[in-house]
């Protein structure tokens, strides 16, 4: 960051030289600044920051070329131009009314020195809605209620949150992997009419000394500028784990800055123009989070494994628009057999089961012709109009010496013409077969650990 500040100082010096008409000196200063800028871009690993730096570098290159043309047009060896009208010489990358002061804006205004970092943070703003509503989330009523209190009410009725009634400034969603924590965050992004900043630890860490703290400050500054807003930090334990003697000073400073910034969230709630900010974090290992950070998350909501009723709904949802023969009793049976499965585990089970009809096609050597009308009514002959022929796997004909060769075909899956394969319906036995090979990703010891932590610090989201 020291080098960036040096570059901004050089740009400011060049601007001053331009103002008095000393263009040759301004050009030399800009060239020196560009050399330093090129060095920073070369060793910058964060692609978003690098993109912002390159954009500003291109603007400065354009300005330097513009000055060079001015020098050439005003005579060889000319070092000064009296009363230069620099604003009339617009260049690509600068507005028509701008001068090099636009480039050195950050150096003239110390509060804007972090602009490249803010630009990097702004790239984390979710521009498109995930289109996930609260109704798309199965169960977790307590979690949804708490999030509505924190996200919807303060934005819609800010007048309610005056005096002692203040909106939640931090909510931590924790639980086993694959239980819907990120899904809940996406529902928040859909339902709120504001800014949603989706952040990972990689967005806030840097190898440069002191830059991570400035990124964290820039994050909260952008959230305030764009309020009402949500700062969503997935896997927050990777950023704010418990402090210990072995951690380095840089890591400690990151946590300290995060604590300071969270303390300042919604501090102006009594202001008539108040717009709320919510820090929403998720983690699979809440016991690893620093105690100070844990305290800043005023609501800590446990997102548990789905119960049997929720698993029934998950299975039914996964089978929507699928050609299957399962009845309600079959689905209830599968739901009982998936006790201890996470929502993600159930989804993976369904996904694997959907391949079973394809596997039957792959394993079969015999296929039977099926003729289907456009209205999906099956017929037994091909004399009708507006029909389509398909081939579906079948067993070998009982009389192998005398079988209808128009109706049966001995072939492989890969010899079936395109768009003529008709896989069989998904059955209960397909799901049971897949279930016999599938295991839950969560152990009873994991659940016990979450239950113990919830009893100490949390709230059930069921």
The pair of three-digit structure tokens given for residue 345, joined into one six-digit string: 């585990």
Nearest of 312, 334, 313, 307 to residue 426 by alpha carbon: 334
Please give the CATH number for the structural domain made up of 134-305+455-460: 3.40.50.300
Sign of CA dihedral 317, 323, 328, 330: negative
Across the beta sheet with 459-460, what order do the strands follow? 195-199, 229-233, 277-283, 170-174, 299-302, 459-460
On whether the CB atoms of residues 301 and 458 are closer than 8 A, the answer is: yes
Residue partners of 449: CB distance under 8 A and separation at least 6 = 287
Q: DSSP labels for 53-102?
A: HHHHHHHHHHHHHHHHHHHHHT-TT----SS--GGG---TTS-TT--HHH
Peptide bond into 228 cis (omega under 30): yes
Q: DSSP labels for 231-243?
A: EEETTGGGTSBPP
pLDDT of residue 107: 36
The pair of three-digit structure tokens given for residue 113, joined into one six-digit string: 């020195």
pLDDT of residue 351: 95
DSSP E strands, 267-416: 277-283, 299-302, 366-373, 378-379, 387-394, 408-410
Sign of CA dihedral 110, 115, 121, 127: positive
Residue partners of 432: CB distance under 8 A and separation at least 6 = 334, 337
pLDDT of residue 259: 87
CATH architecture type of domain 307-439: Orthogonal Bundle (1.10)
pTM of the model: 0.69
**Dist CA 230 CA 279 (whole Å):** 6
pLDDT along the chain (462 residues), means of 10: 75 85 86 80 70 78 83 57 35 34 38 58 74 88 87 82 82 93 88 82 72 84 86 88 73 84 72 78 92 89 93 94 94 96 95 95 94 64 68 90 87 92 95 93 93 89 68
**Dist CA 96 CA 85 (whole Å):** 12
Nearest of 302, 171, 206, 286 to residue 238 by alpha carbon: 286
**Dist CA 381 CA 7 (whole Å):** 81
Q: Map residue 267 onto helix, strand or coil.
A: coil
pLDDT of residue 339: 95
Let me know how many helices (H) and strands (E) the chain has, helices first: 18, 10
pLDDT of residue 272: 63
Task: Give the C-alpha distances (Å, rounded to integers) separating 67 from 14, 29, 322.
Answer: 11, 12, 67
Nearest of 31, 25, 24, 23 to residue 99 by alpha carbon: 23
Nearest of 225, 242, 233 to residue 204 by alpha carbon: 233
pLDDT of residue 262: 85
């Amino acid at each position: 960051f020291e080098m960036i500040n040096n570059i901004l100082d050089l740009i400011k010096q060049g601007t001053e030289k331009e103002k008095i008409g000393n263009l040759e000196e301004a050009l030399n200063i800009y060239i020196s600044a560009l050399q330093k800028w090129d060095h920073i871009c070369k060793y910058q690993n964060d692609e978003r920051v690098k993109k912002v730096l390159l954009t500003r570098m291109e603007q400065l290159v354009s300005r330097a070329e513009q000055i060079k043309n001015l020098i050439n047009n005003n005579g060889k060896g000319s070092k000064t131009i009296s009363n230069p009208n620099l604003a009339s010489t617009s260049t690509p990358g600068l507005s028509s009314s701008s001068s090099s002061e636009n480039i050195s804006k950050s150096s003239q205004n110390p509060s804007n020195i972090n602009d490249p970092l803010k630009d990097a943070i702004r790239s984390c703003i979710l521009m498109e809605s995930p289109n996930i509503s609260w109704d798309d989330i199965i169960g977790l009523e307590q979690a949804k209620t708490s999030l509505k209190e924190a996200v919807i009410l303060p934005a819609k009725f800010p007048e309610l949150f005056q005096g002692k009634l203040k909106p939640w400034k931090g909510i931590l969603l924790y639980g086993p992997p694959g239980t819907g924590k990120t899904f809940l965050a996406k529902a928040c992004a859909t339902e709120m009419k504001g800014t949603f900043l989706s952040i990972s630890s990689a967005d806030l860490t840097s190898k440069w000394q002191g830059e991570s703290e400035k990124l964290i400050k820039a994050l909260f500054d952008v959230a305030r500028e764009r309020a009402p807003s949500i700062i969503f930090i997935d896997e927050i334990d990777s950023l704010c784990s418990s402090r210990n003697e072995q951690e380095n000073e840089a890591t400690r400073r990151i946590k300290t800055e995060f604590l300071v910034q969270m303390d300042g969230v919604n501090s102006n709630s009594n202001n008539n123009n108040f717009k709320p900010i919510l820090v929403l974090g998720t983690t699979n290992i809440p016991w690893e989070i620093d105690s100070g950070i844990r305290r800043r998350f005023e609501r800590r909501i446990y997102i548990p494994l789905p119960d049997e009723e929720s698993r029934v709904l998950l299975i039914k949802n996964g089978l929507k628009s699928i050609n299957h023969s399962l009845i309600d009793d079959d689905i209830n049976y599968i739901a009982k057999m998936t006790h201890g499965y996470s929502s993600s585990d159930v989804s993976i089970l369904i996904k694997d089961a959907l391949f079973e009809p394809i596997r039957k096609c792959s394993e079969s050597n015999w296929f039977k012709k099926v003729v289907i009308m456009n209205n999906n009514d099956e017929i037994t002959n091909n004399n009708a109009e507006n029909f389509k022929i398909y081939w579906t796997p079948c067993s070998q004909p009982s009389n192998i010496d005398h079988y209808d060769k128009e109706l049966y075909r001995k072939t492989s899956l890969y010899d079936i013409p395109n768009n003529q394969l008709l896989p069989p319906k998904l059955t209960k036995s397909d799901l049971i077969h897949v279930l016999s090979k599938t295991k839950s990703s969560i152990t009873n010891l994991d659940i016990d650990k979450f239950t113990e932590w919830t009893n100490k610090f949390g709230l059930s989201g069921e």
